A and B are shown apart, each in its own frame.
Chain A
Amino acid sequence: MSLRVEDVVCPFCGCLCDDIVVYVENDEIKEVENACKFGAHRFLAVKKHRIKAPMVREGQDFKEVSYDEAIKRAVEILTKAKKPLLYGFSSTSCEVHEVAIELAELLGAVIDNTASVCHGPSVLAVQEVGYPSVTLGEVKNRADLVVYWACNPMHAHPRHMSRYSLFPRGMFTDKGKLERFLVVVDVRKTETAEIADLFVKVKPGYDFEVLNALRTILNKGDIPHEEVGGVKKETLMELAERMKNCRFGILFFGVGLTMSRGKHRNIAEAIKLVRDLNRYTKFSIMAMRGHYNVTGFNEVLSWETGYPFAVDFTRGYPWYNPGETDANSLLQSKDVDAVLVIASDPAAHFPRESVRYLAKIPLIVVDPFESLTSKIADVVIPSKVMGIEAEGSAYRMDAVPLRLKKVIEAEGLLSDLEIMERILEGVKRKLSSKSEIAVKM
């Protein structure tokens, strides 16, 4: 049977493009329309590099086991641990997040997502100075000045410029790119910078100073230096003037700001710049969120606990202190004794010091694909690919929720939701039997 599935949401990056067309024949994806290179690859290569069966570690080798056995081992690890960490969540649905948060509370665990290694500092800044943001629809319809600061959408969010910011014709921007001015600020001349109308090259680690200089120009009219952070005064004056005089400006920022010297202070300064600009015109700011549902986890955790990431339940109530309760701080200080990783790959994306400890403690991995974390795990549980083989909810980078579709079946596999629900049930049973034994004694 041949099917044409329309309006499919792409489960790859924070753009969450919802105009994908997928052609399915006998449960095989044959063709994909409208997707970028990442998205097309995600759909067309969905059956490659998969984890074939649940596995448990025996010495240096893995032994294939049933789902029941793998889940039983996962429950044992989690209930035996004094302080387990549940980590990942950015490439799965909000329904899975909900179950995982209940599991973390029940276990007295710490729960964190990949925000702590991408836009965690942005969250800290937003909590301090607010977030004058908009939806991507507003950007498409209104923005005549687009600034990409410390990000490279050509490589990280390939359809961002064509769908939302630079090229599309909007309600009040009917000439598309002809009506918009593109500014790129970065430490290197990226492919995005190549097409910019104005490229501003900043010395690595000097974004705060440049942002602060722009605020000074806006508020005082001048700066007492001929150059700031490698940028000439006349370039800064030109940029400040353009920002002041646009009809509707948007500043998109990437992890070049969150991961460099200054971290959350860089973001707070960028937000303050946007706040200052609103005295002259309409200006907004938005984080270029990476994983397709990293935003969703921050939303769900905020509703449930009041905090967006790095939440510690060891006290019996939610406790939030990034720098202490986030995944990397915990691993580097050897302050957790077991980890469950779902829908992310910290062995590939955490610093050496964190991975070194992660490799030595009991580790459970839930993932559809072979990841580097699965290579150092003790229990590996394969799952369906969310948004292709299972449906669920996800939040776009501008916090607009969209529904991920199931376009093909994946027989014999459980979804992330089914796996997490089974683990939760197993933990509940184990903990209630433990408390019964304690009562009898």
Chain B
Amino acid sequence: MEFILISGRTMHQGETLHQKCSEDYMKACAICEMNPEDMKELGVKDGDVVRVTSEAGDVNVYVKPCEGLDRGIVFIPMGPWANAVVPAGTDSTGMPSFKGIKVRIEKADGRVLRGDELVRRYEFEG
């Protein structure tokens, strides 16, 4: 299914900011909040792993219901998981487009990587 992705700060993300290699940080940030109706249509339940794909690449995160989101919009807390799908380019301003990203989301079987595992993978990515 196609969605618009918004990333941003959350209380839990801020609290775990200085423990980025921990499971707590992963639980705080490797999540994709979604309208419950969209979750039903996608066939996923709270805590399932989903693959989020954009023109920049893909990333696995846990899905979580959120009533405050309209259908078609998803939210991932700021961090390496959201940034894995933030496209390159800054529209000549220096500012990447961290919000309003077109993504495709599907149910996934793979595991969710910890923050340090995710960024160390970039050392070998072409």
Residues of A that sit less than 8 Å from B by CB: 12-13, 37-38, 41-42, 45, 48-49, 112, 116-117, 120-121, 124, 152, 154-156, 158, 187-190, 193, 201, 204-205, 255-256, 258-261, 263-264, 290, 309-310, 322-329, 332, 345, 347-356, 358-360, 369-373, 375-376
Report which residue of B4, B15, B18, B115 has the largest number of chain A beta carbons within 10 angstroms of its beta carbon.
Answer: B18
Contact between B122 and A355 (Cβ–Cβ < 8 Å)? yes
Contact between B56 and A376 (Cβ–Cβ < 8 Å)? no
Closest 8 CB pairs of A and B: A326-B94, A323-B92, A322-B94, A353-B88, A189-B68, A351-B86, A369-B18, A259-B98
Whether a CB of chain A sits under 8 angstroms from the CB of B109 is no
Partner of B10, one of A155, A370, A375: A155
Chain A: minimal CB distance from B27 (Å) = 15
- Asked whether A356 and B83 contact (CB < 8 A) given A49-B19, A323-B93, A351-B88, the answer is no
Chain A: minimal CB distance from B5 (Å) = 9
Residues of chain A with a CB closer than 8 A to B92's CB:
322-324
Contact between B115 and A116 (Cβ–Cβ < 8 Å)? no
Residues of chain A with a CB closer than 8 A to B119's CB:
347-348, 355, 359, 372-373, 375-376
Q: List 14 A-B contacts (CB under 8 A).
A: A13-B14, A45-B18, A117-B98, A124-B93, A158-B11, A259-B95, A259-B97, A263-B95, A327-B94, A329-B90, A352-B83, A352-B86, A353-B56, A372-B115
Partner of B120, one of A13, A261, A329, A376: A376
Report which residue of B70, B84, B87, B99 has the largest number of chain A beta carbons within 10 angstroms of its beta carbon.
Answer: B99
Contact between B87 and A204 (Cβ–Cβ < 8 Å)? no
Residues of chain B with a CB closer than 8 A to A154's CB:
11
Residues of chain B with a CB closer than 8 A to A45's CB:
18
Partner of A117, one of B75, B95, B122: B95
Q: How far is the CA of A430 from the CA of B116 in the complex (A)?
A: 34
